C-alpha cells in the first residue's frame, strides 16, 4: 500500500494537503533562484514554478533536494505524519473500493452473468439496486476497519518487500500458491463459523437475503462480516514475506473472484464458481456442522476435507425453475392467443 500512497501523494494529495494545511512561506527570490535548476531535472516543472512565482509570498516551503512533486514538502503534515497517512489512506481506500467494486461487478454482470436468472421466483424486486445500496452502506465502515492494516504496512510493520532478489524467484512463485491456500483456508473457517446460530442472524444473514445473487452482491454484506472475511488477506503480509507488487496483483485477483468472474469452467469440481455459491445461498441452513454447503473462496478442497461440499448438479440448477416458469408463461400466451 505504500506504493499506492506514494503515487497518489505525488500526483494529487501533496497538492491537496499543501492547499488545506500549508507550511511556512519562503521569499520569492528563493523560488526564482531554484526554478531554473529544478526545471532541468524535472521536465515540465518550470511552468509550474513560474505560475506560482506571482503568489510566492503565500507559497509554502519546498525542499527541492527531495523533489517528487512541487508540493511534497509544502504542508505542515509531512507524508510520514500518521494523521495524514490515516486520512489519505481512508480516502484512497474508500475511492478504491468503489472503483474495484463497480468495475469488477459490472464486468461480470454484463459479460458473464446469465440475466435469465433474474426471472427466478426467488429473485427479489429491484434486487440489483438493493445489492448496490447495501454495498455502498458497508463501504465506509469497512474502510475504517481496514485502514489500520494499511497504516501498519506504510509504517514498515508488514513483511512486504520490494526486490525479488531478497527471497528469490522460487519463493516469489511459492508465495502466490501459499497466499491462495492460506487465505482460502482462513476464509473457509470464518465463513463457516459465521453460520453458527449465535452470530448468523445479525452478522451473516443480511448477505443471504440474496438467494439468487448477482455479481453486485459480492460486497453486499454487513460491514463487520465483510471485514472479517477480508482479515486473512491483510494478516498474510504480517506473517509471511510477499512482494509488494505481487500483493497488489493478488488483491485485484481477489476482487475478480469475489465478483464471480469464473463461470461454467471445466474444473468445477476443484475451483469454486457461481454455481457453488448459488447453492450455498439456496440451501443455507445455519446449523453446525453443516448441512450448509460450499463455504470455500477459491477451491473446493476445504469443503471436501471438512465435509461441507455439495456438487452442483443439473437437478439442483436454479435455472430449471426459470425455464419451467418461462415455459409456463409461453404456454399461457399461446393459449390466450388461440
List pLDDT tens digits, range 196-227. Answer: 888 888 898 888 888 888 889 889 999 999 99
C-alpha to C-alpha distances, 13 to 71, 77, 88, 223, nearest whole angstrom:
9, 11, 8, 27
Model confidence at 301: pLDDT above 70: yes
Confidence tier at 294 by pLDDT (50, 70, 90): confident
Task: State how far the Cα of 2 lies from the Cα of 97, in Å rounded to an integer.
Answer: 17
- Average pLDDT, integer, range 170-186: 95
**273 φψ region: left (φ > 0), alpha (ψ -120 to 50), beta (else):** beta
Task: State how far the Cα of 73 lies from the Cα of 76, in Å rounded to an integer.
Answer: 8
Interacting residues of 245 by C-beta distance below 8 A, sequence separation 6+: 3
Q: What is the pTM of this model?
A: 0.76
Amino acid at each position: 500500500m505504500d506504493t499506492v500512497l506514494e503515487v497518489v501523494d505525488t500526483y494529487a494529495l501533496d497538492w491537496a494537503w499543501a492547499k488545506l494545511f500549508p507550511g511556512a512561506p519562503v521569499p520569492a527570490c528563493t523560488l526564482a533562484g531554484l526554478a531554473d535548476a529544478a526545471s532541468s531535472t524535472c521536465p515540465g516543472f518550470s511552468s509550474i514554478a513560474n505560475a506560482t512565482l506571482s503568489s510566492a509570498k503565500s507559497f509554502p516551503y519546498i525542499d527541492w533536494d527531495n523533489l517528487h512533486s512541487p508540493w511534497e514538502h509544502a504542508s505542515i503534515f509531512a507524508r510520514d505524519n500518521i494523521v495524514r497517512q490515516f486520512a489519505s489512506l481512508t480516502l484512497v481506500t474508500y475511492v478504491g473500493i468503489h472503483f474495484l467494486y463497480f468495475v469488477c461487478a459490472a464486468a461480470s454482470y454484463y459479460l458473464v452473468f446469465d440475466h435469465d436468472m433474474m426471472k427466478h421466483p426467488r429473485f427479489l424486486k429491484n434486487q440489483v439496486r438493493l445489492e448496490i445500496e447495501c454495498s455502498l452502506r458497508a463501504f465506509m465502515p469497512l474502510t475504517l476497519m481496514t485502514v489500520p492494516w494499511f497504516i501498519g504496512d506504510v509504517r514498515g510493520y508488514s513483511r512486504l518487500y520490494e526486490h525479488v532478489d531478497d527471497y528469490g524467484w522460487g519463493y516469489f512463485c511459492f508465495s502466490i500458491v501459499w497466499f491462495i491456500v492460506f487465505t482460502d483456508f482462513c476464509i473457509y473457517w470464518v465463513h463457516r463459523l459465521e453460520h453458527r446460530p449465535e452470530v448468523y442472524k445479525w452478522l451473516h444473514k443480511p448477505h443471504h437475503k440474496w438467494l439468487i445473487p448477482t455479481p453486485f452482491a459480492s460486497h453486499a454484506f454487513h460491514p463487520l462480516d465483510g471485514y472479517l472475511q477480508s482479515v486473512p488477506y491483510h494478516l498474510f503480509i504480517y506473517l509471511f514475506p510477499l512482494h509488494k507488487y505481487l500483493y497488489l496483483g493478488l488483491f485485484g485477483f481477489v476482487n475478480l473472484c469475489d465478483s464471480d468472474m469464473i463461470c461454467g469452467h471445466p474444473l468445477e469440481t476443484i475451483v469454486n464458481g457461481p454455481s457453488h455459491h448459488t447453492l450455498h445461498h439456496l440451501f443455507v441452513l445455519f446449523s453446525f456442522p453443516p448441512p450448509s454447503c460450499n463455504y470455500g473462496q477459491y477451491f473446493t478442497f476445504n469443503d471436501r476435507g471438512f465435509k461441507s461440499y455439495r456438487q452442483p448438479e443439473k437437478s439442483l440448477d436454479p435455472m430449471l425453475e426459470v425455464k419451467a416458469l418461462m415455459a409456463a408463461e409461453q404456454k399461457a400466451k399461446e393459449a390466450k392467443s388461440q
